[in-house]
Amino acid sequence: MADKKTKGRQKIPLEKIKKEVDLKVAFSKRLSTLYTNASKIVRDCNVDIGIVLSSPSGKNQYSFVHPTTDVVIDRFVNPTMELDLGTRLVAENARNIAIQNNIRLNELDAREAAAKEKIRSLKQMDETRDKCWWEFVDQINAENITTFETKLNSIEGILNDQLKKLEIETSSSLQAPLENADN
C-alpha cells in the first residue's frame, strides 16, 4: 500500500484557544452556528428556548430567546407553572409569527433549491453542447488560423460579388425610363 500524502482527519484535543484574534474568530463563527441550530430546534420542535452568551472580551452579550424572555424565564424557574393569560397570548402570538416566518423560509429554501438545480442543469447543458470556434480561441494553432483566414477571404469575395450585383441592379433600375414619362 502506498504511503498516504496527508494524515486525514485527526482528533484535535479540545483546549482553550490562546491567540486573541483566533479566539474572537472562532467565537463569531460558533455564535452564528449556535443561532442557526437554535432556530432549527424551535422550528422543528416548537419549544421554548433561551440562550445567553458573553463574548470572550466580556464587552458584548448575545441572546436568543423564543417565544419571549418572560416565558423562557418563567419556564426555567418553574417548569410546571401555568402562564397567565397575557403571557400566554404574547407567547402564542410570537409562535404564530415564527410559524409564518418558517413557512416563508421553507418557500424561499425551495426556490433556492430549484434555482440551484436550474443552474446545475444549465451548466451541464453548456458542457455537452457543441462549442463554436470563438470559444476555442486560446486553442487555435497556425494551421487553424490559415484555414480560418482562407474561409474569411472566400466569404469576403462572395460578399463583394453580391454587393456588386446589388449595386448594378439598383443603378439600372434608377436609369430605366419611367413608363409614364410623357405624362
pLDDT digit string (tens) for 92-133?
Answer: 888 888 788 888 988 999 999 999 999 999 998 888 877 776
The set of cell numbers assigned to 134 is: 470563438
Contact 71, 95 (CB under 8 A): no
Tell me the pLDDT tens digit for each residue of 148-157.
889 899 999 9
